[in-house]
């Protein structure tokens, strides 16, 4: 039974000890971060933050992540995958600990900005590491397993954080968050080593800037942009929208859980299927289905129907990010994988930030507009990414790709 569960969550990639420990470290890191995630605004409010300061605090994390994405991608290629991952694992809990003595609202804003910069170390380092140590036949599966562990931490953390803060206070929640993330550090230091592929690539000619913007990579960036635009809109509106329809706070929490659960249990399986049968069809079909769902939300009023469709959305969207990540890794030069991941994260963060900023004003003007807009962007972005996947596969079947030559 346990073996079956492990295969469902991560499949064959769990056979590698380094990946098991990398996924465990990822789970602990995101569990720790999400323990305090729902508490930060309340913590600032308890220390007399104004509405303006609360708004800036909410945006500071995203700004920090946005600013740091490209530099972190460069560091991943220059320093290595594991050192940058450790940089995030070590600096993030230290910043979290500073929330205890530095509680003035302006100090909290600065800390939240720095926190976003440290978390930006995660995506390019782990994604480049997985690309280095997996074959094309198992890459989307590995990214699905990574997403499962990440979402597992994000799902459990807020629950623990709420209980801890309710009974023991904010300070205890911050201390426990630091302790949980600290557990991940020795796992990485002792057992996750720099991939031989990247070590060898350091002695090769550096990939030119144009290698980061081939047609295939630009197409995959479109998928990252589309997903983050959709998540930006839903992240900004979901709780307000469902509450406007009469949903309780408990019901809102349930809708988040039913969305996350399919990604935890089916993410790796979705990646495995795409690895086996080709990425283009799954990028296209999942994007079209998700786009239609996002647009439909704008016209839905029944809370039960919203929950049911939320489960379907959670199943549909699992074919998007692991598959796009797999294609991104396939089309990236080894010498530039960190930078490519940084560009993908930067593009996605730009889209998410703009969508989050515009969603609420558009919603107040006309409720369906932001949902329909997210749906259109999702359909367009996934269609472009599917075309890139088709061109990449056709090129590989036709002739070998030279070191810096990407499919045109």
Q: What percentage of the chain carries pLDDT values higher than 70?
A: 90
Give the span between the Cα atoms of 191 and 24, in whole angstroms.
Answer: 12
Residue ranges in 183-336 assigned as alpha helix (H): 184-191, 196-201, 215-244, 249-277, 279-297, 303-317, 321-331
The pLDDT of residue 195 is 86
| Least reliable range by pLDDT among 230-234, 290-294, 302-306, 402-406 | 402-406
291 phi/psi in degrees, rounded to 5:
-60, -40
Confidence bin at 138 (pLDDT 50/70/90):
confident
Domain boundaries, the chain: 1-191, 207-397
Cα distances (angstroms) measured from residue 292 to each of 209, 309, 367: 36, 11, 16
pLDDT in tens, 102-133: 989 999 999 999 998 998 999 899 999 999 98
How remote is the C-alpha of 313 from its chain's centroid? 16
With 0-12 / 13-18 / 19 or more C-beta atoms within 10 angstroms meaning exposed / middle / buried, residue 169 is: exposed
The sign of the dihedral angle between the CA atoms of 167, 168, 169, 173 is: negative
For 350-379, what is each residue's pLDDT tens digit? 888 888 878 888 888 999 999 999 999 999
What is the chain's alpha carbon radius of gyration, rounded to the nearest angstrom?
Answer: 21
CATH class of the domain comprising 207-397: mainly alpha
Euclidean distance between CA atoms 356 and 352, whole angstroms: 6
Tell me what percent of the chain is helix, strand and coil, each rounded to the nearest 5: 85, 0, 15
> Given this chain, do its domains 1-191 and 207-397 carry the same CATH topology?
yes
What pLDDT digit, counting tens, does each position of 176-210 carry?
999 999 999 999 999 888 887 666 555 555 667 78
CA distance 139 to 142: 5
**pLDDT of 403 above 50:** no
pLDDT at 217 over 90: yes
Homologous superfamily of domain range 1-191: MFS general substrate transporter like domains (1.20.1250.20)
The single-letter DSSP state of residue 206 is P
pLDDT value, residue 309: 92
């Amino acid at each position: 039974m346990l073996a079956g569960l492990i295969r469902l969550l991560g499949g064959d990639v769990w056979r590698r000890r380094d990946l098991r420990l990398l996924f465990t470290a990822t789970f602990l890191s995101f569990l720790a971060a999400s323990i305090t995630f729902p508490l930060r605004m309340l913590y600032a409010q308890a220390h007399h933050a104004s509405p303006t300061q609360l708004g800036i605090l909410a945006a500071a994390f995203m700004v920090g992540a946005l600013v740091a994405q490209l530099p972190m991608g460069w560091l991943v290629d220059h320093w290595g995958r594991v050192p940058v991952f450790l940089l995030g694992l070590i600096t993030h809990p230290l910043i979290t600990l500073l929330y205890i003595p530095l509680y003035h609202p302006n100090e909290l804003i600065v800390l939240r900005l720095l926190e976003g910069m440290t978390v930006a170390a995660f995506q390019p380092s782990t994604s480049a590491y997985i690309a280095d140590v997996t074959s094309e036949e198992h890459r989307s599966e590995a990214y699905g397993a990574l997403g499962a562990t990440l979402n597992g931490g994000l799902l459990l953390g807020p629950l623990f954080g709420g209980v801890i803060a309710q009974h023991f206070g904010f300070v205890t929640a911050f201390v426990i968050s630091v302790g949980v993330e600290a557990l991940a550090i020795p796992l990485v230091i002792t057992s996750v080593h720099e991939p031989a592929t990247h070590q060898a690539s350091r002695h090769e000619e550096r990939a030119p800037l144009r290698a980061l913007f081939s047609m295939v990579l630009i197409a995959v960036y479109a998928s990252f942009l589309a997903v983050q635009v959709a998540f930006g809109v839903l992240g900004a509106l979901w709780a307000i929208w469902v509450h406007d329809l009469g949903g309780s706070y408990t019901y809102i929490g349930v809708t988040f859980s039913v969305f996350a659960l399919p990604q935890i249990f089916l993410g790796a399986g979705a990646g495995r299927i795409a690895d086996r049968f080709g990425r283009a069809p799954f990028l296209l079909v999942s994007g079209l289905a998700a786009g239609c769902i996002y647009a439909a939300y704008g016209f839905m009023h029944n809370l039960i129907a919203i929950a049911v469709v939320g489960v379907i959305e959670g199943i549909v969207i699992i074919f998007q990010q692991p598959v796009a990540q797999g294609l991104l890794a396939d089309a990236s030069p080894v010498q530039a994988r960190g930078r490519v991941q940084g560009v993908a994260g930067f593009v996605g963060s730009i889209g998410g930030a703009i969508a989050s900023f515009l969603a609420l004003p558009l919603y107040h003007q006309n409720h369906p507009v932001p949902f329909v807009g997210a749906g259109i962007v999702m359909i367009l972005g996934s269609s472009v990414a599917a075309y890139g996947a088709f061109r990449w596969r056709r090129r590989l079947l036709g002739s070998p790709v030279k070191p810096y030559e990407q499919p045109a």
